[in-house]
């Protein structure tokens, strides 16, 4: 049964209190700053303002959480004991991925709860913006949680895994911009930062985001990126010696 293993992994992620609670606290801090700095004349709703601030702040925290979830056992020499339990290595890798997806949900709930509470207090609340924000927050945290956890399993070391995951986001965004401006708009649209943003916004070519590919193509691109990274991580875990 994989459910007990996922529960144990979730407890271990939460047990790394510095990364888990620190990530939530950082997201909460940025959300409060966004509320205080909000422009009353802004066209975005209260929930949308909080969701944008919270999901990008949460992204940075989730990168740390995910990288540690992927690399912690190998870096600290405990992976060999997990292997000795008889659980297949591929299953241990899958459990880490599922664990990080569950571990980010409290952060998502906090971000959305603050946004809904603020929107309700100002009378600026509607169901569409709540649902759109829910999707944007969850897909952001899931995407970069899976990416960073996969990087952690590939790197096998805590510090480098965190560094590479952060660089992958910021560097990937920079590379996407360069490809967009210098090589091909279409090619840039299939890179991870671009497909992630389009899927999070649920916009097609006719939306406000000026995307160059259809929403369905963006979904397919994101699935390919995440599938490739997680598959590499599972293969690495399955073949390594501990």
pLDDT in tens, 154-179: 887 777 778 888 888 888 788 887 88
- Bigger pLDDT: 31 vs 211: 31
pLDDT at 104: 94
pTM, rounded to two decimals:
0.89
Contacts of 17 (CB under 8 A, 6+ apart): none
Say if residue 242's pLDDT is above 60.
no
pLDDT averaged over every residue in the chain: 85
Query: What ranges do the domains of the chain cover?
Result: 3-239
pLDDT tens digits along 47-67: 888 898 998 999 889 999 998
Helix 105-122 and helix 46-75, axial crossing angle in degrees, nearest 10 = 170
CB-CB contact of 70 with 151 (8 Å) = yes
pLDDT (mean) for 96-102 = 93
Percent of the chain with pLDDT over 70: 91
- Whole-number Å distance between alpha carbons of 16 and 221: 32
pLDDT (mean) for 202-225 = 83
pLDDT tens digits along 4-50: 888 888 888 888 888 889 999 999 999 999 888 877 556 777 888 88
CA dihedral 8, 14, 16, 20 (to 10 degrees): 150
The beta-carbon contacts of 76-82 under 8 Å, at least 24 apart in sequence, are 79/242, 80/242
Range from 60-69, 99-108, 122-131 that averages highest in pLDDT: 99-108
- Whole-number Å distance between alpha carbons of 23 and 25: 5
pLDDT at 99: 93
> Measuring CA to CA, which residue among 196, 197, 193 is closest to residue 178?
193
CB-CB contact of 145 with 100 (8 Å) = yes
pLDDT (mean) for 206-234 = 87
Helix ranges (H only) for 38-157 are 46-75, 79-84, 89-103, 105-122, 127-155
pLDDT (mean) for 123-140 = 86
pLDDT tens digits along 69-93: 888 677 666 676 676 677 788 888 8
pLDDT at 181: 78
pLDDT at 119: 81
Residue 97 burial (10 A CB sphere; 0-12, 13-18, 19+): buried
């Amino acid at each position: 049964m994989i459910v007990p293993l996922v529960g144990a992994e979730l407890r271990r992620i939460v047990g790394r209190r510095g990364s888990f609670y620190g990530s939530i606290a950082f997201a909460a801090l940025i959300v409060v700053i966004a509320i205080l700095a909000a422009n009353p004349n802004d066209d975005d709703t209260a929930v949308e303002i909080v969701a944008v601030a919270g999901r990008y702040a949460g992204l940075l925290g989730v990168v740390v959480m995910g990288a540690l979830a992927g690399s912690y056992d190998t870096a600290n020499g405990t992976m060999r004991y997990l292997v000795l339990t008889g659980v297949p290595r591929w299953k241990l890798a899958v459990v880490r991925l599922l664990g990080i997806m569950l571990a980010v949900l409290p952060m998502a709930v906090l971000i959305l709860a603050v946004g809904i509470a603020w929107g309700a207090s100002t009378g600026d609340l509607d169901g569409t913006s709540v649902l759109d924000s829910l999707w944007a927050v969850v897909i952001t945290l899931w995407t970069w949680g899976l990416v960073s956890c996969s990087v952690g399993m590939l790197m096998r070391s805590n510090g480098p895994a965190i560094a590479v995951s952060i660089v992958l986001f910021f560097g990937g965004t920079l590379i996407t911009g360069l490809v967009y401006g210098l090589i091909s708009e279409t090619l840039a649209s299939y890179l991870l930062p671009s497909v992630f943003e389009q899927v999070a916004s649920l916009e097609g070519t006719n939306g406000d985001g000026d995307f160059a590919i259809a929403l369905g193509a963006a979904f397919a691109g994101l699935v390919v990126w995440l599938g490739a990274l997680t598959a590499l991580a599972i293969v690495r875990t399955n073949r390594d010696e501990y």
